Amino acid sequence: MTSPKRYHRWALTLKPLLPAREVAVAYLGECGFDMFEPSSTGVVAHGEEDKVDTALAYQLLNEIKAFARVACDPSVVEQENWNAQWEEDYPKVEVRDENGALRCTIRAPFHLSATQGMDVVVSPQMSFGTGHHATTHLMTASMLELPLEGQTVLDMGCGTGVLALVAGLSKAKLVLGIDIEAHAVSNARDNLAKNPAVSNPVRFECGDGGLLSGHVDGKFEVVLANIHKNVLSQDMGAYARVLGKGGDLLLSGFFEGDVPAMQACAEAAGLQVKGVKVLEGWACMACWKPA
Contact 261, 238 (CB under 8 A): no
Amino acid residing at 62: N
Handedness of CA 97, 255, 127, 287 (dihedral sign): positive
Burial class of residue 178 (count of CB atoms within 10 Å of its CB; 0-12, 13-18, 19+): buried
Cβ neighbours of 26 (radius 10 Å): 18
Collect contacts of 118-122 with beta carbons under 8 A, ≥24 apart.
Answer: 118/144, 118/166, 118/169, 118/170, 119/169, 119/197, 120/162, 120/165, 120/166, 120/169, 120/195, 121/191, 121/194, 121/195, 122/160, 122/161, 122/162, 122/165, 122/191, 122/194
Amino acid residing at 11: A
- Distance (Å, whole) CA 21 – CA 43: 7
Say whether 281 sits in a helix, a strand or coil.
Answer: coil
The pLDDT value given to residue 128: 57
The pLDDT value given to residue 252: 96
Cβ neighbours of 57 (radius 10 Å): 23
- Distance (Å, whole) CA 224 – CA 237: 14
DSSP for residue 5: P
Nearest-Å Rg of the Cα atoms of the chain is 18
The pLDDT value given to residue 182: 86
Domains of the chain: 6-84 (3.30.70.930), 123-288 (3.40.50.150)
Mean pLDDT, the chain cut into blocks of 10 residues (291 residues total):
79 92 87 82 89 96 95 86 58 88 89 91 66 86 97 95 97 96 89 94 95 93 94 96 97 93 98 95 95 85
Query: What are the CA-CA distances from residue 72 to residues 62, 75, 289 (Å)?
Result: 11, 10, 43
The pLDDT value given to residue 89: 58
Cβ neighbours of 101 (radius 10 Å): 9
The pLDDT value given to residue 86: 56
Note the pTM of the prediction, 2 decimals: 0.75
Handedness of CA 223, 227, 233, 238 (dihedral sign): negative
Report phi then psi at 243, rounded to 5: -85, 130
Contact 177, 188 (CB under 8 A): yes
Side by side, the strands of the sheet bearing 118-121 are 93-96, 102-107, 118-121
